[in-house]
């Protein structure tokens, strides 16, 4: 489960991310509480803050992926994390001085979002340079586990500190933690990184990366599915904060418990993927999306705080299992020279659509109630997964077969690939040598096989 931690550079990466992310989640939890205090418990204000954090992701991510394919990723990450720490320090000083206003929070969210817009796609692509290819699924899964350990401990710690030290104290502590990755990146040994020779032409153009994805159905399907689910279904920073404080009247000591329950399930989903050694199939990813939609829909009808907290555990499990599965499917299916641009596109649809979804979720919660914004998001996520399933079946030629009897069964039949007809060779010319398959390509069929459910 932890075999990637044997690599020193990856250990440094994980340690820096763990410390920073605990501070970031503490900061975001305190920020949500601060926004509700300054705005008079407005879900719309929470939606605006979340949107401002991710507008830069929507605008700058593809450009960041281009940088990742052209320049040293480690140096880019040092600069991006240093900028994030600087913006966080300025904001913490305003809060500690007692002069913070709501518009200060909006501006701080925007500048922190700019730093994240550069850092996130570069970091996603950088993981492949830290370990060998056979360790990549484990390294990606452990990175997701690190994120969710921080998401569990950060809000819980922030909830306690909000009650003990007040909001300024939480911001000062979280800011001190945010600078950790700068030092861990500087301590890495560049000669131990698994770098490939850059073969990008034309300055690693963004349009070339988009064309590459457009020709690859196996990449296009998870990216399109996450574009919908990431925009509509993953707005928990807006919905859970408002649900806890407005609908369940939670105080600061219990404010982060809903997010913590979601993160406990997410940690389970992340650890479930650590043993994965190959690229996940499309139906595994789609199945996780279907179950995520079902449980999120159920959370919207939770009658009380305890029920909502319990339902958020499986919701969190399938949310990260889905996101991690899509990430693995994209990361392990892309050629190295396009990885930065393709991962930037994935980050764009997964996080960059958040301004639209967060604003919509806040607007919906203001007018129709926070619970309805949650069950509606679950319904949309479920429908998106069904659409992805239909798309995959039509493109692949696979089909489900239902068998009735004493033991009803549903069987997935994998279609046999149809080899393309060879083009006629003009007289007097020699036929071209067959092109070998990509090393990452996966078989389209398993002869005579089926998957019983």
| Residue whose C-alpha is closest to residue 218's, from 446, 448, 442 | 442
CA distance 115 to 78: 11
Is residue 343 within 8 Å of residue 127, measured between CB atoms? no
Q: Is residue 63 scored above 60 in pLDDT? A: yes
Mean pLDDT: which of 46-60, 62-76, 371-385 is highest? 371-385
pLDDT for the residue numbered 200: 47
Q: Is residue 422 part of a domain?
A: no
Encode pLDDT of 122-148 as tens digits: 888 888 888 887 788 788 778 877 876
How many residues comprise the chain? 453
| Residue whose C-alpha is closest to residue 100's, from 170, 205, 17 | 170
Least confident stretch, 85-89, 261-265, 443-447 = 443-447
Q: Is residue 385 part of a domain?
A: yes
Q: Which domain holds residue 8?
A: 3-191+207-396
Using alpha carbons, list the distances in angstroms from residue 36 to 9, 11, 234, 244, 312. Answer: 40, 38, 20, 11, 22
pLDDT for the residue numbered 433: 44
Q: Is residue 413 part of a domain?
A: no
Is residue 114 within 8 Å of residue 56, measured between CB atoms? yes
CA distance 153 to 172: 17
The number of distinct structural domains making up the chain is 1
Q: Is residue 419 part of a domain?
A: no
CATH at residue 262: 1.20.1250.20
Q: Is residue 437 part of a domain?
A: no
Percent of the chain with pLDDT over 90: 16
Q: Is residue 19 part of a domain?
A: yes
Both tokens of 452, joined, read 């019983």
For all residues of the chain together, what is the average pLDDT?
79
Q: 364 CB contacts (<8 Å, ≥6 apart)?
A: 372, 373, 376
Both tokens of 52, joined, read 């401002």
């Amino acid at each position: 489960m932890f075999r990637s931690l044997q690599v020193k550079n990856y250990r440094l990466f994980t340690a820096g991310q763990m410390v920073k992310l605990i501070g970031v989640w503490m900061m975001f939890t305190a920020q949500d509480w601060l926004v509700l205090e300054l705005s008079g418990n407005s879900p719309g204000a929470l939606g605006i803050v979340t949107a401002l954090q991710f507008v830069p992701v929507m605008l700058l991510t593809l450009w960041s992926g281009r940088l990742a394919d052209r320049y040293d990723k480690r140096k880019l990450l040092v600069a991006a994390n240093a900028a994030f720490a600087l913006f966080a320090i300025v904001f913490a000083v305003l809060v500690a001085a007692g002069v913070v206003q709501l518009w200060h929070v909006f501006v701080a969210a925007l500048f922190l979002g700019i730093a994240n817009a550069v850092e996130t796609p570069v970091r996603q692509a950088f993981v492949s340079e830290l370990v060998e290819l056979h360790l990549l699924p484990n390294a990606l899964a452990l990175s997701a586990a690190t994120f969710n350990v921080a998401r569990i401990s950060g809000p819980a710690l922030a909830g306690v500190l909000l009650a003990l030290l007040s909001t300024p104290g939480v911001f000062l502590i979280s800011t001190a933690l945010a600078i950790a990755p700068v030092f861990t990146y500087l301590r890495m040994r560049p000669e131990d990184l698994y770098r490939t020779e850059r073969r990008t032409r034309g300055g690693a153009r963004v349009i070339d990366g988009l064309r590459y994805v457009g020709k690859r159905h196996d990449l296009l399907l998870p990216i399109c599915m996450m574009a919908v689910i990431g925009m509509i279904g993953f707005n928990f920073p807006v919905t859970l904060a408002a649900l806890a404080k407005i609908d369940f009247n939670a105080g600061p000591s219990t404010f982060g418990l809903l997010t913590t329950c979601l993160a406990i399930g997410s940690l389970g989903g992340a650890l479930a993927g650590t043993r994965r050694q190959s690229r996940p199939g499309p139906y595994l990813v789609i199945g996780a999306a279907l179950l995520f939609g079902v449980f999120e829909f159920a959370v919207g009808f939770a009658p009380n705080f305890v029920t909502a907290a319990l339902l958020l555990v499986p919701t969190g499990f399938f949310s990260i299992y889905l996101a991690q599965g899509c990430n693995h499917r994209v990361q392990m299916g892309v050629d190295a020279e396009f990885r930065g641009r393709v991962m930037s596109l994935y980050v764009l649809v997964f996080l960059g659509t958040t301004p639209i979804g967060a604003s919509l979720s806040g607007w919906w919660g203001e007018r129709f109630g926070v619970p309805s914004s949650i069950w509606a998001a679950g319904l949309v996520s479920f429908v998106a997964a069904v659409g992805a399933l239909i798309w995959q079946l039509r493109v692949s030629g696979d089909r489900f077969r239902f068998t009735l009897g004493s033991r009803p069964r549903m069987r997935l039949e994998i279609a046999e690939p149809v080899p393309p007809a060879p083009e006629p060779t003009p007289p007097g010319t020699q036929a071209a040598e067959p092109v070998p398959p990509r090393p990452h390509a996966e078989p389209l069929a398993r002869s005579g096989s089926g998957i019983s459910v």
